[in-house]
Amino acid sequence: MKKTVHCLLVISFWLVFFAGYSFAEDIYVTGVTNITMRTGPGVEHKIVAMLKSGTKLEIVEYQKDWTQVKTDLGKTGWVLSRFLTQKVPDALLVEKLENDNQNLLSKLETLEEENKTLAIKNATLIQIEEKYNKLKQESSDFLILDAKYKKMMQEFEAQKSQIETLENNLDNEEKLWFLSGAGVLIVGLFLGLSTRKKRKSSLL
């Protein structure tokens, strides 16, 4: 009777232990340094591999004391069920965290390099914008100066035209005065000659 109860307890324990297991589920070697993987479910079968603690396996078939598993390399065999666990070993967790941390550091370095590149590009854009604004201001000043120059040229041309008109008028007045003076001289000479003739006639 006690033997029957004991067997039922063992069976119940293994049913509870493997209740969460399903075929093709990942499990791990636990608690020991190395375990044997054999060609069949028993110690009389040939050893095909030695599995280290933390080795990841895939369940193929479960049979109470023995479980058929497959390695990542595709090799299949039987191992003692008590050396298997669903819990990921701490060593693998630490390794995964270290790998994740290394990946994050690499990404951080990449982001820092990209940030430096963006900072350089931003500084270049600022310089370009400053040059553009300066050129725009100089262009605006040039347009203002050009407009002033054109206005001054128009005023100069107008003054030049007025000066030419005054010079022409002045030349005409000088000619008129010259002709007037010559006329007066001629008239004076004519009157003088006439007066002499009259004197001579009166003397005769």
pLDDT digits (tens, 9 = 90+) for 136-146: 787 777 788 88
Q: What is the pTM of this model?
A: 0.37
Rounded to an integer, the average pLDDT of 93-108 is 81
Is residue 63 within 8 Å of residue 14, measured between CB atoms? Answer: no
pLDDT interval class at 6 (50, 70, 90): very low
Specify the pLDDT at position 100: 84
Domains, the chain, in order of start with CATH, read 2-86 (2.30.30.40)
Neighbours of 60 (CB within 10 A): 14
Is residue 29 within 8 Å of residue 52, measured between CB atoms? Answer: yes
Is residue 91 within 8 Å of residue 29, measured between CB atoms? Answer: no
Record the tokens describing residue 147, joined without a space.
Answer: 């407009």
Q: Which amino acid is at 60?
A: V
Record the tokens describing residue 142, joined without a space.
Answer: 């040039």
d(CA 148, CA 154): 10
Neighbours of 65 (CB within 10 A): 13
d(CA 175, CA 181): 10
pLDDT interval class at 19 (50, 70, 90): very low
Which of 53, 59, 58 has the alpha carbon at shortest distance from 92? Answer: 53
d(CA 59, CA 112): 44
Site of tokens 């479910």: 41
